[in-house]
Amino acid sequence: MNLDNLIKFSKQISGSIEFEKNLKSTNWFNIGGKSKIFFKPNSLIELKNFLKLYNNSGKIFIIGAGSNVLFSDKYYDGVVIKLGKMFSNLSLLDENTIVAGSSSTDKKLSEFAKISGISGFEFLSCIPGSVGGGIKMNAGCFKNEFKDILVSVQAIDISGNIKTITANKINFEYRKSNFPNDLIFLSGTFRGKKEDPKIIEKQMNEMKNKKNLAQPSKIKTSGSTFKNPIGHTKKKVWELIKDSVPLDTKFGGASISKKHCNFFVNENNANFEDMNNLINFVKDEVKKKTGIDLELEIILVK
């Protein structure tokens, strides 16, 4: 990649390119080092042209709302791409089908579904991520997951080819999908069922109340640190942690949430090492006490 060409390109676009960008401000943990390039395209053509210039010359990471990632403090020698506002459009394809831009928040999508009288999207009101991140993670709660409403994904690969992938071609598991890591989702097509918006609203409020009671808010966290170990025990991961680890354990500024012990918190200027030490400590203690190997839900980016 030619840096001069990239600087020239950055002056011609309505999106933005930042060099040596501090990644802390891009994620909920508020942790991370610098990224060589941080690119925020504001149109598909800008994204295509960037990929052409970049020419697969280094690492690429796509970030959504940053609510499920933990960046290392080390230099990210590559590009972090975050789709801009122009990728957040929401529109009706027919009476129960919605096309949602990847950078729309899950909350906005659930509101749009509600006012359009389409049910099945209520759970999205409880997830603080973007549509792109939700598709990748197969995010979910209250027994609903992205895969239940997803029809297809529109995406661009690193060579600039646009693709439509139908959901039945993807292997979705609990908080996991098998999309290639360098595939950039542009939008998703989702289908629900016609329903009275008042009933949808009631359902959404019930879910939000339940979530608020069980989980902390307004803290620097990435939500559930580990996945529930389905198939190994009937216990939820928070119960395993509670049984195995003193809940006042801290590493530097990283601590365990008092409201939900699977939520780890950047309480006081934690860095990656603090958070990673806490993660490894909890994983080791749970293994020692229960024999269960916990799997990370959050994505580590090094």
**Is residue 38 near ligand FAD by the rule CB under 6 A?**
no
What does the DSSP 8-state code read for residue 47?
Answer: H
Q: Which residue of the set 88, 224, 255, 257 is catalytic? A: 224
269 in the Ramachandran plot: left (φ > 0), alpha (ψ -120 to 50) or beta?
Answer: left
229 and 184 Cβ atoms separated by less than 8 Å: no
Dihedral angle over CA of 16, 53, 76, 279, nearest 10? 90
Residues 72-111: x/- map of binding to ligand FAD (CB under 6 A)?
A: -----------x------------------x---------
CB-wise, 65 or 286, nearer to ligand FAD? 65
Distance, CA of 56 to CA of 45 (rounded, Å): 17
Residue with tokens 């600039």: 160
**Is residue 229 near ligand FAD by the rule CB under 6 A?**
no
Look up 187 and say whether it is catalytic: no
CB-wise, 177 or 287, nearer to ligand FAD? 177
Distance, CA of 139 to CA of 208 (rounded, Å): 16
Distance, CA of 24 to CA of 22 (rounded, Å): 6
Q: Which residue of the set 122, 195, 285, 297 is catalytic? A: 297
**Is residue 128 near ligand FAD by the rule CB under 6 A?**
yes
**Is residue 120 near ligand FAD by the rule CB under 6 A?**
no
Point out which span in 88-96, 112-120, 128-136, 198-206 binds ligand FAD (CB under 6 A). 128-136
How far is the CA of 296 from the CAs of 9, 58, 164, 191, 208, in angstroms? 38, 26, 29, 30, 25
Distance, CA of 25 to CA of 22 (rounded, Å): 7
Distance, CA of 129 to CA of 221 (rounded, Å): 12
Q: Report in angstroms how near the CB of residue 155 gets to ligand FAD at its nearest.
A: 7
Of 13, 17, 67, 88, which one interacts with ligand FAD (CB under 6 A)?
67
Of 41, 134, 188, 192, which one interacts with ligand FAD (CB under 6 A)?
134
**Is residue 69 near ligand FAD by the rule CB under 6 A?**
yes
143 and 228 Cβ atoms separated by less than 8 Å: no
**Is residue 144 near ligand FAD by the rule CB under 6 A?**
no
Bridge partners, 21 (sequence order): 35
Distance, CA of 273 to CA of 270 (rounded, Å): 8
Point out which span in 137-145, 163-171, 197-205, 254-262 binds ligand FAD (CB under 6 A). 137-145
Tokens of 48: 């295509």
Q: Report in angstroms how near the CB of residue 7 gets to ligand FAD at its nearest.
A: 25
**Is residue 15 near ligand FAD by the rule CB under 6 A?**
no
Q: Report in angstroms how near the CB of residue 291 gets to ligand FAD at its nearest.
A: 26
**Is residue 137 near ligand FAD by the rule CB under 6 A?**
yes
Look up 145 and say whether it is catalytic: no
Residue with tokens 């959504």: 64
Look up 175 and say whether it is catalytic: yes
Tokens of 256: 């365990």
Q: Which residue of the set 110, 175, 195, 255 is catalytic? A: 175
**Is residue 299 near ligand FAD by the rule CB under 6 A?**
yes
244 and 286 Cβ atoms separated by less than 8 Å: yes
Residues binding ligand FAD (CB under 6 A): 28, 61-69, 83, 102, 126-130, 132-134, 136-137, 139-141, 175, 184-185, 221-223, 299
